[in-house]
Amino acid sequence: MVSVAGTEAISGLFRFEFELASPDHDLDYQSVLGKKGHLTIKGLDADRHVHGLVSRIEEVGRNEDLSRYRLTLVPSLWVLGLRQTSRIFQDMSVPEIVKKVLKDAGIPSSEVELSVHGDHPKWEYCVQYRESDLAFVSRLMEQEGIFYFFKHTASGAVLRIGDDPSDHPVAPDVTKLPFRVAGGMAASEETVTRYSLSEEVRPDAFALKDYNFKTPAVDLSGSAKDKPGLTTEVFDFPGEYDSASEGTALAKIRLQELRAMRRQGTGETNCARLTPGHTFEIGGHPRKDYNGKYLIVGAQHHGSQPQALGREGAGSASSYSSSFTCIPADVPYRPPRITPRPMAQGAQTAVVVGPSGEEIHTDEHGRIKVQFHWDREGKKDENSSCWIRVAQPWAGPKWGSMFIPRIGWEVVVEFMDGDPDQPLVTGSVYHADNPPPYSLPGEKTKSTIKSNSSKGGDGSNELRFEDAKGSEEIFIHAQKDLHIDVENDEGDTIGGNRTVTVAKDESVTIDGNRTEKVAKNETITVDGARAETVAKDETIQVDGARTMTVAKDESLKVGENRTLNISKEDKVSVGDSRSVAIGKDLSHQVGANAQYQVTKSQVLDVGQSFSLSAGKEIVFKVGGAELIMKSDGAIQLKGSKINLKADGAISIKGSKVESN
């Protein structure tokens, strides 16, 4: 090895570049690339080990004896940066998601130490969207204040993931490093040769706010302060949490993130084992407040071994130095949020999904589930996504519009603030398998709202508008029942004809008055029976003639009096018998003449008295017989033969009795 240069940081990938001198001028790169590498840096007290993968190799020079190659050594976690996908995680916490991603990437569980102490709630819905596995897990851990670093031993490397100061072990084989100013002679011990502290003003308060549609009236503010009184506060929205308690915890993490590097130290050492994520102690510094325990957050390594070049490096000595950045060990370290969140720019479409056999799948909020076109792991069922809210034209408290997209529809999905974790359905579109309800462009003047009966289809309700000039129409179709509820007045104006066809019964109930006016003729045809009941009075006025034809019997029943007033003639024609039954008196009053004509017999039967009175005369006539009674008292009886017969006596009295 000719030289080495490396960088390391908490929540970052280490990268070591080292030059090798080899007599092989034709080194096979494929025999090296992607293979495991083990770098050992010899120390005065103990060796430093670095395990990783060779990610790059290049030839940087050669002479007659040797070729020089530069190799790059990175952790196995680096491979996650080469894996990019889009997928969905549901009902999993960040530690659980990270563990799954690492497993899917082929990193053995024996190479991972997951040690988290804080409360990491399950995410209902978390999307890895067009980003590498490395970027995905990095931003999730940064979001929740989780850090990672690497522990190297002679046998291998382990990725350690934690969220608490207790997760930081002491640097390997380092207890306390003494501070010694660098001299001209070779060091005989591992020391810190330069060290200084810096402090800077950082925000001392953090406030967050968010909104949860399930608890819209609840204030989801969360805040954290480092000291009372006036503050330099940072406020952010949305906070990406669901409850106020989560907001408070997250605000504390955000504040710790901003203030973690408020007091930081930088130094140089000849100890290669001061690695990020580990703690160490400085002693013997002339400034007493510099002495103490620190957490290493970053380190840079530089080493050279020119004698490996043979004759070209003869007489040169090996050297090594490291510079580091650290913070007090009791300060909680939170990684800065430097990994950008992927943005879902613009709208996408997706297919509505649900359980097998269902046509509509929704919850109490009218939300639906979808399968995104980019989702390769979804099964196109009710588990393909979280519940997604559906935008409606109106959405009031128990009023508004409600159109629930159905399984198989293609819907338009947008994302709140471009966040793939916050989808919102804003509409739906037709496609080749779901064409519009009418053939286009032939019926382009039609506009419609047409549903489909569920389950099974084969029926619909529809409100359709036809705007073709001269054929304008509004069409309403109810697949089964139609109910119209008018709280107050209803007015209908029809410029032309109106046709109403009722296949079965019709019932009309009017609690108040009813007025019906027909300007011209009215025809009512009842094929069966007809019953009409009027609770109070009925008045029928016919300004012209009226004809009533009853093919069979007619029955008229009047509970009290009946008055019939005819301004002119009244003619009654009865084809067969006629019977009139009167419970009490009968009175006929004729203003002029009255005439009765009986073709056959007439019988008049009076139970008691019978009185017949005429103003001038009464004439009884049968054939040649005649009885005339006049108003002056004269009575004339004529006939071809007159017989008087009595069971008793016959008496004739007069002032004068004549006999011929």
Instruction: Give the pair of three-digit tokens for residue 588.
Output: 């006929």
CATH code of the domain in which 389 resides: 2.40.50.230
The domain of 63 spans 3-76
Instruction: Give the pair of three-digit tokens for residue 549.
Output: 């034809």
Give the span between the Cα atoms of 5 and 33, in whole angstroms: 19
CB 278: neighbour CB atoms within 10 A?
Answer: 24
- Residue 336 counted as domain residue: no
Q: In what order do the strands lie in the sheet with 348-353?
A: 369-372, 348-353, 410-415, 423-429, 389-390
Low-confidence ranges of the chain (pLDDT < 70): 183-186, 312-315, 660
233-236 and 205-208: which strand pairing? parallel
* Residues 434-469 as b or e (16 or more Cβ within 10 Å = b): eeebeeeeeeeebebeeebeeeeeeeebeebeeeee
Instruction: Give the pair of three-digit tokens for residue 347.
Output: 């709208």
For residues 21 and 66, the answer to whether their CB atoms sit within 8 Å is: yes
- Residue 249 counted as domain residue: yes
- Per the structure, how many domains does the chain have? 3
Furthest CA-CA distance within the chain? 200
Closest CA to 115 of 153, 85, 82, 141: 141
CB 168: neighbour CB atoms within 10 A?
Answer: 20
pLDDT digits (tens, 9 = 90+) for 182-218: 765 567 789 999 999 999 999 999 999 999 999 999 9
**Phi, psi for residue 324 in degrees, rounded to 5:** -140, 160
Q: Cα angle vertex 471, ends 466, 473, to 5°?
A: 40
Helix (H) or strand (E) holding 372, with range, is: strand 369-372
pLDDT for 314 equals: 64
CA distances from 644 to 20, 445, 510, 639 (A): 172, 102, 72, 12
Residue whose entry in the numeric block shows the structure tokens 């204040």: 145
- Residue 195 counted as domain residue: no
Domain termination site, one of 47, 76, 105: 76
- Residue 485 counted as domain residue: no
- Residue 150 counted as domain residue: no
- Residue 12 counted as domain residue: yes
Domain termination site, one of 406, 429, 452: 429
Residue-wise DSSP of 578-641: -----SS------SS------SS------SS------SSEEEEEETTEEEEEETTS-EEEE-S-
pLDDT digits (tens, 9 = 90+) for 22-43: 989 999 999 999 999 999 999 8
Give the span between the Cα atoms of 510 and 533, in whole angstroms: 13
**Alpha-carbon Rg of the chain, whole angstroms?**
55
Domain termination site, one of 220, 242, 259: 259
* Residues 188-204 as b or e (16 or more Cβ within 10 Å = b): eebbbbebebeeeebeb
For residue 301, list its beta bridge partners. Answer: 6, 322
Helix (H) or strand (E) holding 138, with range, is: helix 133-143
The set of residues, in sequence order, having a beta carbon less than 8 Å from that of 310 and lying 6+ positions away, is: 21, 65, 66
CATH code of the domain in which 55 resides: 2.30.110.50
Fill in the DSSP letter of residue 418: G
pLDDT for 533 equals: 81
Fill in the DSSP letter of residue 368: B
Coil/strand/helix, residue 481: coil
For residues 128 and 86, the answer to whether their CB atoms sit within 8 Å is: yes
The set of residues, in sequence order, having a beta carbon less than 8 Å from that of 373 and lying 6+ positions away, is: 348, 349, 350, 351
- List, in sequence order, the alpha helices (H) in 465-605: none
Coil/strand/helix, residue 486: coil
112-115 and 157-162: which strand pairing? parallel
Which residue type, as a one-letter code, is found at position 606?
Answer: V
- Chain-centre distance of CA 22, in angstroms? 65
Coil/strand/helix, residue 181: coil
Instruction: Give the pair of three-digit tokens for residue 31.
Output: 């025999």
Give the span between the Cα atoms of 446 and 469, in whole angstroms: 11
Coil/strand/helix, residue 275: coil
CA distances from 142 to 206, 245, 335, 440, 505 (A): 16, 19, 6, 52, 71
Please report the sign of the dihedral spanned by the C-alpha atoms of residue 511, residue 513, residue 518, residue 524. Answer: positive
- Residue 387 counted as domain residue: yes
Closest CA to 392 of 440, 428, 363, 354: 428
Fill in the DSSP letter of residue 134: H
What is the dihedral angle through the alpha carbons of 295, 300, 304, 309, rounded to the nearest 10 degrees? 130
Answer left, alpha or beta for residue 366, where phi above 0 means left and psi between -120 and 50 means alpha.
left
Q: The whole model's pTM is what? A: 0.80
For residue 446, list its beta bridge partners. Answer: 466
- Residue 468 counted as domain residue: no
For residues 450 and 460, the answer to whether their CB atoms sit within 8 Å is: yes
The set of residues, in sequence order, having a beta carbon less than 8 Å from that of 323 and lying 6+ positions away, is: 266, 267, 268, 269, 299, 300
CATH code of the domain in which 233 resides: 4.10.220
The set of residues, in sequence order, having a beta carbon less than 8 Å from that of 5 and lying 6+ positions away, is: 16, 17, 18, 300, 301, 302, 303
